[in-house]
């Protein structure tokens, strides 16, 4: 097999030009990512169908307690004993691979997330399938690119093509897939990248239409009523509320997962998480699964169906009970989602964002219809709420705008979508500058951005820039021994290290120049008397941003590097600048 691919790579190099091959490969990536989206969508659907028919889920049913936990246990077994790798937080994993692993995603990522999320979501885990399928599509692009020995920029482009195809295929929304890649994965918008991304997105969407027709999207809706100009103030208010609620969602998701991480034993997580998730879904059945059936009910004017299988169904005609039920859904959905992922489930926040946004918009609409002098379209407010909430959680206003616009089959809500999404984004940016996908990476300085300066620093590797040719001396060495070392060295800095490789200080040639030619001091003066404390220490775990900050704060040109408490070498500002210029020039090329 390896010989065949080698011959294929050689043949391609001789007969197909690079630009044409990139376009051809983007088409292939679009096909495979589209098929992956169709497969995942179908497996989740038929798993739900099997459980509905065979296990008779419906009404007030105690199976709600057990099914999500069973799904998470099966998923954990799959991940631990078969995959043997962490496949959660799919979009964050892609971003990390782009910034620190040259865009390399493991081969198992082309299928492992599909299996894991099928069990998690199919059995009722309160997460979405979009992040797993985006990871799958990105892995398809990454592995095909590596198979054909493409360079770093081309690998990253194929990762983006796979992600664009995945989103386009699962939503039948090619523009949303394209914009998602540019906005969330931080791919640069150039003509060299735009055309392949478009090819992958359109190919995947067409494939989805071919296999599933026009009416089989995760949820579909045909816009019946365009926006009313007089409702714009209410859309502004909806955007502000969505921004605040998305901040709540982001922070509570992180805190809940951190809390679950403190439970060290896996069976303990199953017990705590499974019981809590089961209780939440039993009391609030709309939290079962992705939530698209609930959104379909709202958009079709049958919002009261959300209470159909709950213990509150007998009070569905009481407006305050109904409004309270919707409010509690907004409060507890975040816990259902984070418990699912925190206990070992595989899924993302894409669908929960749409679910909470739809519930929020619908709740605002029914409150306006009940207590104001105007009547608003509840479905329209639900759609705008979806876009606004997704914009806040993902920090991706353009993605949310185009996704909802494409789902509705037109752009009749384009203006309120833009207004609410933008306001939601600006609102959460006041409190939280990073999205739920990027917060952890940004904190560690591992996030690529559209800023080429920032990207260049992120992509640089500290370990590759360390200088290890400095002569090491010991604290107990005499001046005579030091002079001997200096005579054989081409550097003017000398690290002082003990027998355990622990850095004790540094010696600068300029500081001892006035005594190094005084033989009377050779045997009576020791290194530990001459050494000084370095201005700062650089740790191998530091990001390049942190390293540059240390250089700026100290004014030094050279700083020692520490690895696991031991001296490793020196890093120089001049070498960083040299490496930085090379990376920047590379990324500035079209």
Question: Does residue 286 contact residue 337 with C-beta atoms inside 8 Å?
Answer: no
Q: Give Dmax over CA atoms of the chain in angstroms.
A: 101
- For residue 292, give both structure tokens: 């698209």
Find the distance separating the first CA and the last CA of the chain, reported in whole Å. 34
Spatial separation of the C-alpha atoms in residues 178 and 197, rounded to whole Å: 6
DSSP 3-state of 558: strand
Residues 6+ apart with CB under 8 A from 168: 30, 34, 174, 176, 177, 178, 200, 201, 202, 204, 205, 208
Strand partners for 387? none
Strand partners for 473? 496
Spatial separation of the C-alpha atoms in residues 145 and 137, rounded to whole Å: 12
Tally Cβ neighbours within 10 Å of residue 506.
23
H/E element, 497: strand 493-497
How confident is the chain (590 residues) per 10-residue block, as mean pLDDT? 64 74 93 94 84 54 77 89 84 81 88 92 88 93 89 88 94 91 77 87 93 63 72 93 95 88 79 86 87 86 80 80 93 93 88 94 93 85 94 92 82 88 94 79 58 59 80 87 82 86 86 79 83 88 81 86 88 77 58
Domain extent listing, the chain: 2-212, 229-450, 456-588
Spatial separation of the C-alpha atoms in residues 278 and 260, rounded to whole Å: 16
- Strand-pair category, 503-508 with 538-539: unpaired
89: left (phi over 0), alpha (psi -120 to 50) or beta: left
Same fold, 2-212 and 456-588: no
To which CATH superfamily is domain 229-450 assigned? Clc chloride channel (1.10.3080.10)
Q: Give the closest residue to 157 by CA, choosing from 178, 171, 128.
A: 178
H/E element, 570: strand 566-572
pLDDT at position 57 is 44
Spatial separation of the C-alpha atoms in residues 188 and 373, rounded to whole Å: 47
DSSP for residue 429:
H
Spatial separation of the C-alpha atoms in residues 211 and 527, rounded to whole Å: 76
Helix 90-100 × helix 130-147 angle, to 10°: 30
Architecture of domain 2-212: Orthogonal Bundle (1.10)
Question: Does residue 33 contact residue 165 with C-beta atoms inside 8 Å?
Answer: yes
Domain 456-588 belongs in CATH node 3.30.590.10: no
Helix 152-171 × helix 18-55 angle, to 10°: 40
Residues 6+ apart with CB under 8 A from 428: 243, 244, 246, 247, 250, 392, 393, 395
pTM of the predicted model, to two decimals?
0.80
DSSP 3-state of 566: strand
Tally Cβ neighbours within 10 Å of residue 224.
12
């Amino acid at each position: 097999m390896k010989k065949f691919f080698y011959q294929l790579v050689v043949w391609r190099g001789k007969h197909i030009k690079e630009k044409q091959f990139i376009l051809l490969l983007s088409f292939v990536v679009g096909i495979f990512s589209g098929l992956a989206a169709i497969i995942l969508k179908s497996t989740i659907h038929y798993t739900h169908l099997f459980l509905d028919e065979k296990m008779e889920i419906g009404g007030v049913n105690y199976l709600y307690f057990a099914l999500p936990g069973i799904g998470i246990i099966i998923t954990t077994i799959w991940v631990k004993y078969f995959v043997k790798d962490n496949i959660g937080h799919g979009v964050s994993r892609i971003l990390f691979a782009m910034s620190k692993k040259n865009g390399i995603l493991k081969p198992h990522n082309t299928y492992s997330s599909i299996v894991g999320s099928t069990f998690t979501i199919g059995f009722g885990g309160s997460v979405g399938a979009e992040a797993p399928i985006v990871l799958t599509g990105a892995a398809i692009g990454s592995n095909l690119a590596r198979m054909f020995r493409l360079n770093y920029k081309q690998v990253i482009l194929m990762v983006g093509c796979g992600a664009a195809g995945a989103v386009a295929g699962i939503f039948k929304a090619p523009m949303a897939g394209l914009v998602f890649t540019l906005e969330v994965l931080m791919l640069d918008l150039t003509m060299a990248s735009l055309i392949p991304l478009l090819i992958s997105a359109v190919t995947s969407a067409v494939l989805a239409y071919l296999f599933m027709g026009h009416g089989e999207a995760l949820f579909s809706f045909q816009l019946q009523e365009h926006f009313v100009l007089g409702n714009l103030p209410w859309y502004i208010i909806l955007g502000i509320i969505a921004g605040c609620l998305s901040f709540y969602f982001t922070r509570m998701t992180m805190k809940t997962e951190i809390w679950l991480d403190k439970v060290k034993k896996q069976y303990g997580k199953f017990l705590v998480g499974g019981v809590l998730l089961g209780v939440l879904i039993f009391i609030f059945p709309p939290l079962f699964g992705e939530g698209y059936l609930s959104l379909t009910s709202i958009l079709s004017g049958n919002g009261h169906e959300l209470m159909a299988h709950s213990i509150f169904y007998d009070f569905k005609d009481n407006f305050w009970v109904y409004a309270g039920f919707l409010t509690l859904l907004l409060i507890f959905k975040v816990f259902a989602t984070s418990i699912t992922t925190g206990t070992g489930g595989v899924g993302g926040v894409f669908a929960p964002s749409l679910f909470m946004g739809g519930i929020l918009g619908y709740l605002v609409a029914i409150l306006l219809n009940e207590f104001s002098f105007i009547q608003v379209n509840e479905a329209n407010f639900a759609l705008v709420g979806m876009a606004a909430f997704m914009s806040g959680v993902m920090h991706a206003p353009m993605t949310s705008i185009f996704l909802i616009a494409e789902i509705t089959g037109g752009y009749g809500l384009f203006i309120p979508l833009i207004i609410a999404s933008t306001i939601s984004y600006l609102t959460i940016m006041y409190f939280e500058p990073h999205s739920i996908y990027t917060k952890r990476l940004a904190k560690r300085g591992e996030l690529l951005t559209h800023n080429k300066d920032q990207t260049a620093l992120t992509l640089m590797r500290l370990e590759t820039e360390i200088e290890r040719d400095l002569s090491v001396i010991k604290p107990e060495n005499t001046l005579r021994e030091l002079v001997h070392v200096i005579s054989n060295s081409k550097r003017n800095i000398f690290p002082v290290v003990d027998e355990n490789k622990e850095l004790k200080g540094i010696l600068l040639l300029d500081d001892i120049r006035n005594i190094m030619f005084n033989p009377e001091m050779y045997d009576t003066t020791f290194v530990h008397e001459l050494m000084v404390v370095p201005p700062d220490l650089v740790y191998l775990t530091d990001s390049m941003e942190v390293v540059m900050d240390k250089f700026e704060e100290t004014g030094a040109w050279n700083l020692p590097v520490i690895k696991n408490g031991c001296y490793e070498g020196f890093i120089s500002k001049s070498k960083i600048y040299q490496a930085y210029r090379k990376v920047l020039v590379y990324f500035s090329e079209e």
